[in-house]
């Protein structure tokens, strides 16, 4: 007898509420300066959404029997082109959290036959007997495609969608306290930075392997350029991006992609997205590209399509992990002084953020005013002339809105 599959939206919503998965965070305070608001999310969207993929090939499955490890890597290789086409179809960017070793064209054993002798080993390994790099073939893409992925990485970079390539450590380490040290983490991230450099990539987002949080390394990660991590917390599935004292942003996970015989998984995704819109929080879906193709066809495709619809309505801003974190940091650091002058308005903007780490993200400014302006002009530090800024005006709400880089020092509204 087949199990009963729960599909009623109202019952599903009640179930998620009862389980605590829709537990509410306290409402976030607006960022407002005398009628000038820095929107919580880009374009004034009511919520944000991230999707992250743990891109690992064989590295995540080394403790499994060799045939199963190889099967998963082969499946992942076959899925990546399919996933890229799916995401392009709906214009949805994601963060590919990638094992750093996969950026290598090849590698060879060192003196004495040891793989990567320059890399420290974890202080403890409960997953298999022997050296941490025991399974590394020390070969190349042609001979060992389950361990190298330069072809797939270039494919991601060539996509019509601007995906982010983040890091999943160099060798898929466990960031837990008993399996990692500061020396190990430093070498792992620095090895990623070095391997990614020929591809023009500098990692800014990290997904902790095995979803084991390693916040004891927060200061070090931020020093090395990481600004966003995926965070697991069973208390909250829909949450605001949370800044740690080190400067890292925690992006709370909402759902792990799967199929379910017990309930309508896609409907759960839609419920969570709608709840995020209602609350102004962020939705974060994650998956393994090595999953069965049916998971992507039956679950990811309809959820991505739903996000695309919501994004067209400006109810959701779909961003990569680094984009969302950089926007929130700019919003946090920004202050505005509003003054009337010469028949118009002047906004003096200050945003003392660390642009070396966060970049120069565009932020969305919303201003209450009675009439639409003729023009909006922006002046940058050191520039002799102002440049025109595209804007919109909602006559019903009497609200002017425009995007501007965080580095703008002055806005003139006439």
pLDDT digits (tens, 9 = 90+) for 107-124: 999 988 999 999 999 999
What CATH number does residue 394 fall under?
Answer: 2.60.40.1180
Q: What is the mean pLDDT of residues 252-260?
A: 94
What pLDDT, on a 0 to 100 scale, did the predictor assign at position 1? 42
β pairing state of 249-252 and 228-231: parallel
| Phi and psi at residue 147, to the nearest 5° | -125, -10
Nearest to 345 by CA among 321, 377, 319, 318: 377
Give this prediction's pTM.
0.96
Q: What is the spatial distance between Cα 101 and Cα 56, in angstroms, rounded to a whole number? A: 9
Confidence of residue 23 (pLDDT cuts 50, 70, 90): confident
Mean pLDDT of the chain: 94
**Whether residues 149 and 75 fall in one domain:** yes
Domain holding 56: CATH number?
A: 3.20.20.370
Dist CA 117 CA 110 (whole Å)? 6
Contact 133, 171 (CB under 8 A): yes
- Distance between CA atoms of residues 237 and 252, nearest Å: 6
What local confidence, expressed as pLDDT, does residue 4 receive?
A: 54
**Strand (E) positions, 288-385?**
316-318, 334-341, 344-351, 362-368, 376-379
Tell me: do 98 and 183 sit in the same domain: yes
Per-residue pLDDT averaged across 190-197, rounded? 98
d(CA 225, CA 358): 9
Please check the confidence at residue 290 and state whether its pLDDT lies above 70: yes
Q: Give the pLDDT confidence score for residue 6 in this predicted structure.
A: 65
Q: How far apart are CA 287 and CA 296, in angstroms?
A: 9
Which residues span the domain enclosing 13?
Answer: 9-30+47-313
The domain boundary residue, chosen from 283, 313, 343: 313
Tell me: do 196 and 277 sit in the same domain. yes
Please state the rounded mean pLDDT for residues 148-153.
98
Percent of residues, the chain, with pLDDT higher than 70: 98
Quick one: the chain helix, strand, coil %, rounded to 5? 35, 25, 45
Q: What 3-state DSSP class applies to 387?
A: strand
Q: Is the pLDDT assigned to residue 3 strictly greater than 60?
A: no
Return d(Cα 227, Cα 250) in angstroms, integer. Answer: 9
The verdict on 189 and 104 lying in the same domain is: yes
The pLDDT value given to residue 204: 98
Query: 288 and 360 share a domain?
Result: no
Q: How far is CA 249 from CA 139, 213, 246, in A?
A: 37, 13, 9
Say whether both 298 and 347 belong to one domain. no
Same domain, 286 and 374: no
**Total domain count for the chain?**
2
Evaluate whether residue 38 is within a structural domain.
no
Same domain membership, residue 180 and residue 54: yes
Please, which contacts does 339-347 make with residues 24 or more away whose CB atoms are closer than 8 Å?
343/414, 344/373, 344/412, 344/413, 344/414, 345/369, 345/412, 345/413, 346/410, 346/411, 346/412, 346/413, 347/36, 347/410, 347/411, 347/412, 347/413
pLDDT tens across 310-358, in order?
A: 999 999 999 999 999 999 999 999 999 999 877 789 999 999 999 999 9
Q: Which two tokens stand for residue 358?
A: 């966060």
List the one residue out of 19, 11, 8, 2 whose CA is nearest residue 234: 19
């Amino acid at each position: 007898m087949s199990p009963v599959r729960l599909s009623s939206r109202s019952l599903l919503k009640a179930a998620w509420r009862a389980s605590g998965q829709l537990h509410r965070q306290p409402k976030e305070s607006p960022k407002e300066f005398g009628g000038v608001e820095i929107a919580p999310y880009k374009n004034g969207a009511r919520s944000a959404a991230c999707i992250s993929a743990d891109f690992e090939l064989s590295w995540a499955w080394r403790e499994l029997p060799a045939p199963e490890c190889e099967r998963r890597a082969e499946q992942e290789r076959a899925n990546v082109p399919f996933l890229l086409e799916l995401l392009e179809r709906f214009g949805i960017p994601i963060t590919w959290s990638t094992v750093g070793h996969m950026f290598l064209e090849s590698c060879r054993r060192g003196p004495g036959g040891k793989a990567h002798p320059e890399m420290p080993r974890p202080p403890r390994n409960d997953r298999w007997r022997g050296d941490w790099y025991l399974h590394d073939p020390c070969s190349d893409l042609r001979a060992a495609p389950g361990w190298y992925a330069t072809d797939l990485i270039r494919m991601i970079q060539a996509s019509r969608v601007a995906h982010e390539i983040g890091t999943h450590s160099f060798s898929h380490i466990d960031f837990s306290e008993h399996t990692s040290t500061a020396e190990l983490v430093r070498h792992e991230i620095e090895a990623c930075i070095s391997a990614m450099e020929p591809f023009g990539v500098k990692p800014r987002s990290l997904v902790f392997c095995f979803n084991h949080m390693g916040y004891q390394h927060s200061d070090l990660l931020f020093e090395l350029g990481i600004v966003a991590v995926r965070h697991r917390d069973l208390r909250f599935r829909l949450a605001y991006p949370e800044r740690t004292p080190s400067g890292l942003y925690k992006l709370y996970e909402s759902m792990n992609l799967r199929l379910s015989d017990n309930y309508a998984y896609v409907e759960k995704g839609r419920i969570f997205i709608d709840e995020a819109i209602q609350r102004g929080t962020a939705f974060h879906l994650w998956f393994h590209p090595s999953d069965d193709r049916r998971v992507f066809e039956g679950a990811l495709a309809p959820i991505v399509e739903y996000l695309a619809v919501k994004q067209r309505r400006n109810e959701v801003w779909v961003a990569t992990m680094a984009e969302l974190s950089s926007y929130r940091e700019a919003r946090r650091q920004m202050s505005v002084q509003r003054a009337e002058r010469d028949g118009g308005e002047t906004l003096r903007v200050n945003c003392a953020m660390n642009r070396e780490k966060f970049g120069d993200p565009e932020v969305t400014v919303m201003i209450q005013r009675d009439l639409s302006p003729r023009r909006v002009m922006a002046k940058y530090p050191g520039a002799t002339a102002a440049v025109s800024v595209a804007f919109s005006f909602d006559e019903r709400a009497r609200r002017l809105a425009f995007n501007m880089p965080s580095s703008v020092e002055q806005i003139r509204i006439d």
